[in-house]
Amino acid sequence: MRIVVTGARGRLGSVLVEKLKARALDVSDFDIDTLDVTDFAATQRQIAALKPDLVIHPAGWTDVDGCARDPEQAVLVNGFGSQNVALAAAAAGAAIVYVSTNEVFAGSASRPYREYDPAHPVNAYGYSKWVGEQAVMRLNPRHYVVRTAWLFAHGGKNFIQSILNAATAGKPLRVVVNEIANPTYNDDLADAISALIDTQRFGIYHLVNEGVCSRYQLARYVLDQTGFAETPIEPISAAEWSRPSMPPVYSPLDNLAGKSIGIRLRPWQQAVDTFLQREQLLTHEP
């Protein structure tokens, strides 16, 4: 199988490339320096030249607050950029994997969202990713739309590292108690996508680590596992945390489709422990 990966220098893209190459698959990778997905002609030309069987498209603008400040740019990159990739993949006769987000949902449900629940994004980032989903599903019937949530990865900025940096610096911690989703380990997601592409079972998938928690519960777990059990956290509501983009408050995903074909990610606590262990931060044995 010949595979093209966009966003190959990103946190998910780089791990995908590493894992797929370890399987001895033929992988070509692009990043923003070599593939501008907002340029339709260039995207089509560069993907066509590689004659892929599959295009994996994790590239996108993931700065949620940045998307809120410039929603048109968010749609240009995440929406129309994904449309360009979907058209190029279809023209090359390739299937496509599009990586999306739990933020396509409104956050008003009373249970975790399932794959075919109606989307209703409430912020610019979620809307731009939903536009990308629509383009991919309408333009390429051989598609996998993979939604994930609260991704944390080695290298780069994420919620876990922000909490630990603040605790190490002795800064007061205020964390939201009513924003709820699934913490998901970047490496586990890459493994799940690698398994998914072998199935030829196209459709929508929610690939997240098992279990749900609040931002507060995740922060408390991380601190307890890293020697900061005595560090207090002030619980606050989402409305008290001022930011340009308001995320959906309750947006956990239910991995029904993945489980039905044997793809299940481990509980989020185990994934966090592995992340912390690899970062040499784990002080409390799991």
Q: Which residues are catalytic?
A: 125
Q: Identify the burial level of 170 via C-beta atoms within 10 angstroms of its C-beta, where 0-12 means exposed, 13-18 middle and 19 or more buried.
A: exposed
Helices and strands, number each (H, E), in the chain: 11, 14
Query: Please, what's the b/e burial string for 174-195 (b: 16 or more CB within 10 A of its CB; e: otherwise)?
Result: ebbbebbbbbbbbbbbbbbbbe
Cα–Cα distance for residue pair 128/104, rounded to 1 Å: 9
Q: Are 181 and 149 in contact (CB under 8 A)?
A: yes
Measure Cα distances from 117 to 1, 109, 271 in Å: 32, 10, 27
Judged by phi (left if over 0) then psi (alpha if -120 to 50, else beta), residue 126 lies in alpha
Opening angle at CA 212, ends 208 and 218, nearest 5: 100
Strands 54-57 and 2-5 come out as: parallel
**Selection from 193, 183, 101, 182 nearest residue 144 by Cα:** 193
Q: How far apart are CA 46 and CA 275, in angstroms?
A: 35
